[in-house]
Structure 1
Amino acid sequence: MSVSQPVIRLKPKVRPQTFLHGVPWVYDNEIVTDRRAKKIAPGSLAILEDAERRPIAQVAVNPGSRLFARILDLDLKAEIDQSWLERKLARALALREALYDLPYYRLIHAEADGLPGVVIDRFNDVVVVQANAAWIENMLSELTVALTALPGIKTVYKNASGRARGLEGLDDVSEVLTGALPDVPVPVPMNGATYMADLSGGQKTGLFFDQRPNHAFAARFSKGARVLDVFSHVGGFSLAALAGGAKSALAVDGSEAALSLAAEGARRMGKTDQFETRKGDAFDVLAKLAEEGQTFDVVICDPPAFAPSKKALEAGLRAYERVARLAAPLVAEGGYLGLCSCSHAADLSKFRAASTRGIGRAGRSGQLIHTGYAGPDHPLHPQLAESGYLKALFYRL
């Protein structure tokens, strides 16, 4: 805590225990937003006080955002500096090294790892940083030094894509912060499959590590199966299924670049003859496959976030229901249907209800055999439902 740090204060009816007990976000309607508070520069560190002017925590402030402050440390004497970042990174790394034999994982999962608004994915000696909060944007140089102090990390790349940075008033300029970014896609081994990650031109950080346990679960019932992977990206479920002994796999996506990476992954696995791709709108392709009379033993649909906010919830739930309604008829009798959602606004019960309704409207019925979540390198913050965004439902129809 520095004597020069600005101070923000909770409104009288806001309970300070909320934040002392772990809630990491303070919204603008919970703060006394007087002229002094509004003049604090975005990303500044400040002291959060209760209505009686008693200090509660050190926070990062952005007056231009509805999320006015993020809790950084309840220790008022802590120095939020490079050494502080190094301790957070070391603690996060210890968990991942206990979980995984190879250095391919999410290293930092934002609030759940004590670094609010920060996402870092690791690809061997390269880390891709999504700095989605103004405070960490201001500390990128310290973060870069702290990251390269970790064993084996040589390159730090800042990925500035995504709507979160826009909400914080940050730029969309991606850049190498240190080291050299590979000029070709990086092969990533997971679940016996090989995935090709485009670290600078792909979606998000280039690969979705969160689905790792769900890929593995689907592969368990894919031996000898005909598999359909819709919204496949770089072949998430289809390549895992082939690694698990699937007879064939068809990957469907709207991105030719993503499908090319999936095909390269299949080639490196020696599975080219068992792998096909089809580019197109997923809803259109699902309808077309039904018209063709095609069926599959395993169908997995892993769409983008149809409900990224509460405002989009109802439309998103209708989209999830439609996916289920179109996918269910393609599942052979006794086959399996996997339906996924990465929308934090659509909680598990609402997503499950929409999916089950869609299956019923397709004239099918079945057992819900498994509910999956993100892997343990994407830990859940107990006081932040948004950190548990991923749901995967597996039905036997």
Structure 2
Amino acid sequence: MTEPSFSIPTIRLKPKSNARAIRHGAPWVYDNELVTDRRTKSLAPGSLARLEDAERNFLALVAVNPNSRIFARVLDHSETAEVDQDWFAARIVTALAHRETLFDAPFYRLIHAESDGLPGVVVDRFGDTCVVQPNAAWADVLIAPLAAALREVTGVSTVVMNGTGRARGLEGLEEKTEILSGKVEGPLPVPMNGATYMADLLGGQKTGLFYDQRPNHAFAQRLVAGKRVLDIFSHVGGFALASLAGGASSALSVDSSAPALDLAEQGAAAMGKSDTFSTRRGDAFDVLTALAEEGETFDVVICDPPAFAPNKSSLEKGLRAYERVARLAAPLVREGGYLGLCSCSHAADLDRFRGACNRGIGRGVGHLGRSAQLIHTGFAGADHPLMPQLAESGYLKALFYRIVA
């Protein structure tokens, strides 16, 4: 059989690879699922290719990266698709319609990677600014038409590329942050759940702010009126500022990053809440231990750590860390108070995370004659849609407990 002539190369699944999964929406093809030779291994990272099954039937237009375990990412199931500004714009239009249905102000996650048809691409919107995280090689290569499409569809004037983070390292990409259009003049105020957060779009973590916790912040606000709140791993104010907006009598933010705590203080000042807001810099585990030794207790304690289990190889170590957080935090909750425990580790599924938290709480307060009621399980907001064929897109879990006698 003579192979057809196309302007882009062809890659092919091995005979026993699951072509049906690709047809049914699976977005990734791993390197061990493909027939690889010198030709395929020499493809430029970020280049496009035709993906065929073992019988040479077309499956999808894909972006390839021989430097990544995820060798191919599905972009389109049309054999005639052209990945240009118009192609990007069509996907952004679809994503924007959903966000404009959800929110009355342009502050949200606009593109949630594979779930919005742009694999490896995250875009958060901050009013007139979009921050793009191109966490896959193809998005680096095509950043210009992507940025142009963002401006065309949303009308924003400023587009920032934040090319930092662990995901880019897995793709073999360098870290770089640059303003692609417009300008950024210092931290940007972001309204969310009645609070004001200050987002550093150039030097902050990820895109500068975490929108995914919005519904969990809102739930916490129902628990905090007139109460004293402790927010561990608070980043730029997280649950603490949301709690103050919800009527908390005071909130203490703990984080290891001085710049993040400075931004939290700016947010509290913008809300007129500086007198009821305080910060404490240090390692979270050390501070939790010190607060217990100081005899401190709080009505509400919420812990929102970084991903302790970012992959399967770190799962057991990560679960022990989540258990330790719960063990140290639970005794700081007054009887009848509330404990919130969060995980953004996709490798730690809900059952494993909940098990670790339950064990930690038991070890933390069982000897005090207390127990816990699990009252609420939260996830990321609807601007972070979950792709049914990709469990990794549903990474965030938030468990809220009531500590009782």
SS at match of 1:174: strand
C-alpha distance after superposition, 1:4-62 (max 9, x if no partner): 11000000011211111011000000000112211211111111100111111111011
What's the TM-score once normalised by structure 2's chain length?
0.96
Aligned residue for 1:264?
266
Unaligned residue ranges in structure 2 (runs of 5+): none
Match of 1:214 in 2: 216
Among 104, 107, 128, the residue aligned to 1:104: 107
Structure 1 position 282 matched with structure 2 position 288? no
**1:112-191 alignment runs, 5 A limit:** 112-182=115-185, 184-191=186-193
- Could you tell me how far apart the structure 1 residues matched to 2:5 and 2:276 are? 62
Whole-Å separation in 2 of the counterparts to 1:315 and 1:137: 33
Task: Give the structure 2 partner of residue 40 of structure 1.
Answer: 43
Of 197, 200, 203, 1:198 maps to 200
User: What's the CA shift for 1:181?
Assistant: 1.6
8 Å Cα contact 1:124/1:152 also seen in 2: no
Tell me how far apart the structure 2 counterparts of residues 317 and 331 of structure 1 sit (CA, whole Å): 22
Q: CA distance change for structure 1 residues 255 and 67 in 2, over 3 Å: closer, same or farther?
A: same
Amino acid in structure 2 at the alignment position of 1:47: R
State the AA in 1 paired with 2:395: Y
**Following superposition of structure 1 onto structure 2, how do residues 1-397 of structure 1 map, counting pairs within 5 Å?**
3-182=6-185, 184-362=186-364, 363=366, 364-397=370-403
CA distance in 1, matches of 2:93, 2:372: 45
Distance (Å, rounded) in 2 between the aligned partners of 1:146 and 1:190 = 26
Work out the CA distance in 2 between the residues paired with 1:7 and 1:58: 9
SS at match of 1:3: coil
Identical counterparts, % of pairs: 69
Q: Is the 8 A contact 1:60 1:135 kept in 2?
A: yes
Counterpart AA for 2:361: I
Does the 8 Å CA contact 1:197/1:261 hold for their aligned counterparts?
yes
Q: How many residues align?
A: 396
Q: Which amino acid aligns with 1:344?
A: H
Give the whole-Å Cα distance in 2 for the aligned partners of 1:320 and 1:172: 29
Cα distance, 1:2 vs. partner?
8.6
Cα RMSD, aligned residues only: 1.1
1:264-317 superposed Cα distances (whole Å, 9 cap, x missing partner): 111111111111110011001101111111111100000000011111110000
- Structure 1: gaps (5+ residues): none
For residues 210 and 194 of structure 2, the distance between their equivalents in structure 1, rounded to whole angstroms, comes to: 16
The separation in 1 between residues aligned to 2:18 and 2:130, in whole angstroms, is 38
Matches of 2:261 and 2:90, distance apart in 1:
39
Distance 1:90 1:226 in 2: 43
What is the letter of the counterpart of residue 26 of structure 1? V
Question: Matches of 1:86 and 1:123 in 2, distance apart?
Answer: 19
**4+ runs deviating over 2 angstroms:** none
